[in-house]
Chains A and B, each alone.
Chain A
Amino acid sequence: MPDSSLRILVVDQNRLRASIIEEGLREAGHADVTVVDRLDGLMRRVVEIDPDVIVMDLENPSRDALESLFHVSRAAGRPVAMFVDRSDAAMIEAAVDAGVSAYVVDGLRKERVKSILDMAISRFNAFSRLRDELDKTRQALEERKTIDRAKGILMKKRGIGEDEAYALLRKSAMNENRRIAEVAASVVLAASLFSGEDL
């Protein structure tokens, strides 16, 4: 049963990822969620919000500051532990692998927060996969453009058709055990060197 009374703070400089986490928390029935994506004034916000659970990306340079704040808040009787259960090594490793850290007020029952961390870990991983796919798509697009330019150069210089130009690239790639995009990049580079133009 999701626990709508928990105060949850999501700290992530990546606004898109922060909103993906926030959405996941709201879908799970958590109403009291605050997202902070700026570093300046972060410590003041943490004190104001006084969260039960903090979800923070590992690349955030404010982790040391946040942890030092807990020494202060320990005085106020809200000691903070990292992750739900120190003995849950698999979860801790999964979280660090995913690039997320979490701080939980000590004394909260494990089942109250475990689902939050599971969700954060899976959404951080999903976000990384999306970003990887996006990078791959971008790279594929770039390679396509390079191949088109190489084809154009070959067609012009050799007076051949488009299919022939592509077949030539593919044959060279096979002979040299390289990728077509690499051969195409060499053609473009060579043409720019010979023509003295920045193609």
Chain B
Amino acid sequence: MSGSVTVRAGFIPLIDAALLIAAAEKGFAAREGLELVLQRETSWANIRDRVAIGHFDVAHMLAPLPVAASLGLVPLPVPMIAPYALGLGGNAVTVSRALWEALEAAGAPSTGDPAATGAALAAVVSARAAAGHAPLTLAVVNAFSGHNYELRHWLAASGIDPWRDVQFAVVPPPFMADALAAGRIDGYCVGEPWNTVAASSGAGRIVTTKAAIWPKSLEKVLGMRTDWASANEETLRRLIVALEAAAVWCDAPENHGELAAILAAPDYLDVAPDRILAGLGGELALGSAAPKRIADFHSFAAGDATEPRVNHALWLFSQMVRWGQASLGEDAVATVRATMRPDIRARALGLDPARHGGLQPVRLFDGLTFAPDALASYLAALPFGVDPGRI
């Protein structure tokens, strides 16, 4: 098409790359005069670096990644923004069958309830320590990920000290199920389809979900260099319009069969469509139960799912401070706020920026009140937070 603008985007094989993939495959990008060129990547570090040096214009990113890049916390730091979110929820925690049997014996329900499952995990962790067994190893996808913070928050709220009682590993999403099956890790937190893949093969059991730990929370965003966004305002506007059309299409249950078939391709997720359908429909097998629909497991569009949430980014930042990755300061908080750009999305979609400012409240399962303007007192109330003696 003449006058078509090329946008290069990187993604990691996960269900929430669907908006970019559907925008390219279903003509939503072409309709806006964009040629969306997608490239699968093997690590979040590559995604970040290829955006930083300009190989990619935009990318599927963990929400904390552009924040960490803007704060200068990563090895190749470049100011980035997130003017669009690629969905809410979608993660789950999966453990090995052996660990699930121990959890079930300690009273874990097959409902995904984080408090009851966490209590059972705390009992198993204590019993292992008393018996002189090695601590459990749990994997997340990146140090700067919602997975890392959700998992640690859940453990800490359950009375498990993430510094001392368990070990952490970092494993890329497509390798999680294999690492679990090989016994290198005891459990992990990852996005779909990589929980269902382990549950379907029998290597693991899904014990709880992001939707239960932190309902309706920010997960992936469309990340880009701040200077790319400034220099390509019209292209970005069209991209947001295209992605919003893709999000609505992806959210409609009647399209899930076709979407699963598209995502299953070798260049995208390279996973059987039925493994992908489970996450799209939020029908996961929890514990020993048969697959059942989980409310709000994942949303592509509904509930303003594509609005980059400033308050949610501030919670993620509070956890960077809690776990010793960042320092609390006014400048840092201002940088976090400036990284989420719901105003760009609102203008692109013809919405009122004042009513779509990303100010959704933050409510986690532990019931503690999170006030974005009082991070220090929130942090002081949390268990097992950063201790200068341990960093």
Contact = CB atoms under 8 A, between A and B. Distances in A.
Q: Do A and B come from one complex?
A: yes
Interface of A: 40, 43, 58-65, 67-68, 70-71, 75, 80-83, 86, 89, 92-93, 96, 101, 103
A86 B43 contact: no
Nearest to A92: B53
A68 B142 contact: yes
A70 B50 CA distance: 20
Nearest to B46: A58
A61 B75 contact: no
Specify the main secondary structure of chain B where it touches its partner. loop
- Listed from nearest, the 9 A-B pairs whose CB atoms lie closest are A82-B75, A63-B45, A65-B170, A68-B143, A63-B43, A68-B170, A61-B172, A61-B42, A64-B142
A86 B75 CA distance: 8
Which of B142, B168, B184: most chain A CB closer than 10 A? Answer: B142
Nearest to A65: B170
B239 to A, nearest CB: 23
B216 to A, nearest CB: 26
B39 to A, nearest CB: 12
B42 A96 contact: no
B325 A93 contact: no
Interface of B: 42-46, 49-50, 53-55, 74-77, 141-143, 168-172, 174-175, 184, 324-325, 391
B77 A86 contact: yes
Contacts of B170: 64-65, 67-68
6 contacts: A40-B184, A64-B143, A65-B170, A68-B168, A71-B143, A96-B50
Contacts of A61: 42-43, 172, 174-175
A165 B46 CA distance: 52
A61 B175 CA distance: 9
Contact of B76 (A70, A75, A82): A82
B325 A71 contact: yes
Contacts of A65: 169-171
Nearest to A103: B75
B53 A59 contact: no
Given A40-B184, A67-B143, A75-B391, A59 B75 contact: no
Contact of A101 (B49, B168, B325, B391): B49
